[in-house]
Amino acid sequence: MQITHSFFRKKTSINAGGKLIDLGIPKVMGIINLTPDSFYTGSRKPAIEDALLQAEKMMNEGATFLDLGAYSSRPGAADIGLQEETDRLLPVVEAIAAAFPDAVISVDTFRSSVAENAVKAGANVINDISGGQLDEQMFTTVARLQVPYILMHMKGNPQTMNQLADYEDVIAEVFDYFVDKYNQLRQFGVNDVIIDPGFGFAKKAEHSYALMNRLQDFAPLELPLLAGISRKRMLYGLLDIAPEEALNATTALNTIALTKGAGILRVHDVKEAVQAVKVWQATTGNY
């Protein structure tokens, strides 16, 4: 759990499609799932018209980012082919980019070809749950496209990750993973990297809560940090409720994440997350 290279430096802003975004003041990323089987039914917007309405709602509520995903990454989700993911994703990226030019569009994919085609269609950020582990061309693709890259920690893939949730020290393992992957990304020439501990991905609830408790331990990396805990099993399982009932718990944990250094909240419910950021700002005086 040691940094061995000297090119870590404080990074509070990213350049996304020519838009300079200051993450020193936390931003909100709204989730729009273009899948029929994502774990939270309220996030499913597979039709272009529904996705556009959701994008408009989220932008009006204060989202900076819209995260579009066409491959369900819930534990045990069915694996779909590249063409199906592409066919679900690209028309919606094009439609949202045309309708909302101020939106910063993130695409949630681990496939480099999908990512590249989405950027050509108007996306600005690549959000890769696999950290380049499921497609060896991802890092070179991101470097060539020169777009911000969200580097998440996961072991295995969505079909196998639940069987791989085993750690001697989850904090140290995730920290070392980020050091190694960031070193690689820098060598490829990627400039803007955001880290995501991957709450719930190859992690039991106790691992996810340990990561949240020590989220500030990732500060020495001096990279923007994304917290994605919205309505997840770590919340609804703990409280013995359904994902549809987990908004209050999500807001509570988002607030904790803000106090521990999160620069992006990735959420299903933008209005409540924006309110949490405003309360955090009033408390800290960070405007």
Active-site residue 232, yes or no? Answer: yes
Provide the token pair at 211: 């990561």
Percent of the chain with pLDDT over 90: 82
Question: How confident is residue 1, by pLDDT bands cut at 50, 70 and 90?
Answer: low
- 224 CB-near residues (< 8 Å, 6+ apart): 11, 12, 14, 23, 193, 194, 195, 263, 264
Domains defined for the chain, CATH in brackets: 13-282 (3.20.20.20)
Q: Does 48 have pLDDT greater than 50?
A: yes
Average pLDDT over residues 265-275: 98
Distance CA 96, CA 107 (A): 12
**According to the model, what pLDDT value does residue 77 have?**
67
**For residue range 196-232, what is the model confidence (pLDDT) as tens digits?**
999 999 999 999 999 999 999 999 999 999 999 999 9
- Per-residue CA distances from 254 to 19, 46, 101, 115 (Å): 25, 27, 28, 28
DSSP code at position 77: P
Average pLDDT over residues 261-285: 97
Q: Does 108 have pLDDT greater than 80?
A: yes
- Are 205 and 238 in contact by the 8 Å Cβ rule? The answer is yes
- Cβ atoms within 10 A of the Cβ of 242, count? 11
- Are 74 and 38 in contact by the 8 Å Cβ rule? The answer is yes
Active-site choice (181, 231, 232, 260) = 232
Average pLDDT over residues 236-248: 97
Question: How confident is residue 78, by pLDDT bands cut at 50, 70 and 90?
Answer: confident
Q: Does 119 have pLDDT greater than 80?
A: yes
Percent of the chain with pLDDT over 70: 92
Q: Which of 93, 173, 98 shows the shortest CA–CA distance to 127?
A: 93
Q: Which of 69, 65, 58 shows the shortest CA–CA distance to 35?
A: 69
Question: How confident is residue 41, by pLDDT bands cut at 50, 70 and 90?
Answer: low
Distance CA 160, CA 255 (A): 31
Average pLDDT over residues 149-170: 89
Question: How confident is residue 159, by pLDDT bands cut at 50, 70 and 90?
Answer: confident
Please give the distance of CA 9 from its chain centroid, rounded to a whole number: 21
- Are 181 and 188 in contact by the 8 Å Cβ rule? The answer is no
Average pLDDT over residues 161-175: 92
Q: 3-state secondary structure string, 130-178?
A: CCCCCCCCHHHHHHHHCCCEEEECCCCCCCCHHHHCCCCCHHHHHHHHH
Q: Does 98 have pLDDT greater than 50?
A: yes
Average pLDDT over residues 108-128: 97
Q: Does 238 have pLDDT greater than 50?
A: yes
Active-site choice (45, 203, 260, 266) = 266
Instruction: Please state, rounded to an integer, the average pLDDT across all residues of the chain.
Output: 92
The phi, psi pair for 39, rounded to 5°, reads -65, -30
Active-site residue 266, yes or no? Answer: yes
Question: How confident is residue 72, by pLDDT bands cut at 50, 70 and 90?
Answer: confident
**According to the model, what pLDDT value does residue 80 have?**
85
Q: Which one has a higher pLDDT value, 161 or 265?
A: 265
Q: Global pTM?
A: 0.92
Question: How confident is residue 76, by pLDDT bands cut at 50, 70 and 90?
Answer: low
Question: How confident is residue 6, by pLDDT bands cut at 50, 70 and 90?
Answer: very low
| Cα-Cα end-to-end distance for the chain | 33
Distance CA 42, CA 39 (A): 9
The phi, psi pair for 184, rounded to 5°, reads -65, -45
Beta bridge partner(s), residue 265: 28, 227
Average pLDDT over residues 270-283: 98
